[in-house]
Amino acid sequence: MRAVLRFQIVLAAVFLLSSLAVAAIKDPQQLIRETGDKVLAELTQRKADLDANPELIYPLVESTVVPHFDFREMSQSALGRFWRDASDVQKEGVTHEFRELLVRTYATALLGYTGQKIEYLPVQYNAGDTRVMIPTRVASAGAPPVPINYRLKLGDEGWMVYDVVIDGVSLITNYRSQFAAEVRRGGIDGLISTLAEKNRNVGK
């Protein structure tokens, strides 16, 4: 049950950050607070349609989530020291497949959203910081609240997500150990093939 809740929390985390490209808003917590309820309300309103046709979740994720995640940095961080040994083609391959895996995983998890509540916690960062961590907690009926920390960076395109820490576990750190094992077993090309195979099977 805890594992299922964790996936549902990841999906809520993604949608809370769905409008981070609005660079004019300099306070990332304010942005999350203002957009979170609106986006989750839309998900709730469309639940009947999504239950009837789950494929509708993919364009929703592509239009609201993908533009606001720095998949290149996430892929580089997840690949760790192996990134510098990868060719440009391999780097693009890892980034593409990792992006697809996250999108498909989030989309599948979103279909299980059941109205979890988000609590916004105090934030500490200085004016001018370009990397911040936004803490929240997500509560679900019958389960203790689970802390979620969002790691964001400010660039030319606004605030971008580069990691999500759920209940003390970094999404990137978790994938880094998996990526390292795959690279040792089959090289970077083997990792790309493994990710592509997972993408074909996500949601099946």
pLDDT for residue 23 is more than 80: no
What three-state secondary structure class fits 139? strand
46-60, 67-81, 162-176: segment of lowest average pLDDT: 46-60
- What tokens were used for 172? 């990137």
Mean pLDDT over residues 139-167, rounded?
85
What three-state secondary structure class fits 120? strand
φ, ψ dihedrals at 173, nearest 5°: -60, -40
Percent share of the chain, pLDDT over 70: 79
Give the per-residue pLDDT at 22. 41
CA–CA distances in Å: residue 199 to residues 45, 99, 106, 175: 28, 10, 12, 15
CA–CA distances in Å: residue 35 to residues 9, 62, 63, 176: 17, 17, 15, 30
Residue 118, beta-bridge partner list: 138
pLDDT for residue 102 is more than 70: yes
pLDDT for residue 49 is more than 80: yes
pLDDT for residue 169 is more than 80: yes
pLDDT for residue 167 is more than 80: yes
Percent share of the chain, pLDDT over 90: 33
So what CATH class is 2-201? alpha beta
Q: Work out the mean pLDDT of the chain and round it to a whole number.
A: 81
CB atoms near residue 199 (< 10 Å): 19
pLDDT for residue 163 is more than 70: yes
Give the per-residue pLDDT at 66. 73
pLDDT for residue 31 is more than 80: no
Residue 94, beta-bridge partner list: none
* Domain coordinates in residue numbering, the chain: 2-201
Radius of gyration of the CA atoms of the chain, in A: 17
Mean pLDDT over residues 3-15, rounded?
52
Give the per-residue pLDDT at 45. 83
